[in-house]
Structure 1
Amino acid sequence: MSNDTRDIFSGLKARKPQYVLGTKNGDIRTSNVTEEKILDAIDDIEDNGCVYLEKCVPVVLVSDAKAYSIDYFKDSSIAVCFMVNGYMLRMWRSDVDCDMAADIMCDFFRTASLPDMTGWHCQKIHPEQEKAETKLCVDGEDFRYFGSQDVVIALDNIIEGKSQWMLYDFTNGDGGYVNIRRYDKDTALATGYKVEYVRWSEPLPIGYRGVIFDVGLLRSWLWSLIDDERLPDPMDECEQFDVNNYFERLVFRFLDEDKK
């Protein structure tokens, strides 16, 4: 047997969570993260402006939701940042002192744990270098170049059974998205289409959900969303839902599953 033990634990080392610690002013950006460095960065929050702890391999919550960073700001607000269906979102709250921020960020560093976000606010993140643009995704495939007719064709393909779902990210107003999915669960009824319509309005996002059976109505409504400068009202079949609460429940589902 070889006495060379250099690589015996390489697999364990490779699975060790990796993080990046950074600050807004750029004085710190390191992957050699320790709790002491996190505490020092938070103690100097006035000079740093913002401290972020980013997990290189995001924490998978449920479905397409992943938590990738916790950011603390000198105005005493803190945010947990997510990727959800290709969107960058954050849950945030204010009035967080340095001690609480240190506890939250160190827990994230030690065990990838997320804080209780009951009552926190949900907000879409607009990266400074990112220009707002419309986006279209069909059955997980992103389309970079498309026009208004392509969006409606994507809906027609769902109606004809060629596709299962589409996600259209619009920039009108404060921006938002519409998610349309084919719904064949109840074979006694005609095929329905689950619609989720969210506007990233300030200070609170607004969301609507419903199942639509009238394809003519759905197609006409989608056209108005694409072509009109004014965002259309939700269809009568849709009911408003609490977008903040929706993302809270995503996190709670993750925490509940993590305890099992």
Structure 2
Amino acid sequence: MELRLCNPFRHIIPLPSNYSNQITSSSQARSLSVRSSHLGPNESRKLVLEVKEKLEKDHQSLPVGKNGRDDEDFILWFLKDRKFSVQESVEKLHKAIKWRQEFGVSELSQDSVKNIAETGKAYVHDFLDVNGRPVLIVDAAKHFPAVHDPAENEKLCVFLIEKALSALPEGREEILGIFDLRGFGTENSDLKFITFLFDVFYCYYPKRLGQVLFVDAPFIFKPIWQLAKPLLKSYASVVRFCSVETVRKEYFTEATLPAKFRD
């Protein structure tokens, strides 16, 4: 199976010759975009139905049902992400739904990722953080790209994202990612997987990743981060480098703290 990622940062768009004359109109467009993000339920519902109709008309081959072209909650989330632009939402939804179909997201299960999951490299924590967010934990020292099958790593990643999102409490929209970098070495380095992870969130799970903690990053991780950061663009802003003590004090209670951060 070939995975085709949607990299939002790979194109450089040249400025139009009349760019200076478009500043005012661009500002007005941004203002409209901000206003549109606060649409009432009736206006939002109208746009959801419009997107739904366009998907049915132009992309009939896409599946229906949960996370399909007729899933109104799914459509609304992408509308919010695209600031209620119908055309942009249709385009992004088409790519996302097609990717889910090709990747086989609905077919992922605990059994299908059992072997790679048993490495303990990544899992969803049993408790929410203090902000009510499901927590996805990655033990970077257990990730060996030279040994583990990249396709299996990707399946585990997507399975755990789905699992974390299924644990979202009512009214919550984002999850917390924690990369435990204690014991990280050159053999654990995997720039390709880091960009895969953030690319998947941008294209197919927009605005679902609230924050990422890089815990106790060793000196050897710094050059890797310098390479990764430009590729992540705006997503780099959700990353926070912190200590184990910060995780204990700011993100969990004594009862909900992950076992690996207790020592």
**TM norm structure 2:** 0.22
Q: Which has the larger radius of gyration?
A: 1
**TM norm structure 1:** 0.22
Query: As a proportion of its length, which structure holds more strand?
Result: 1
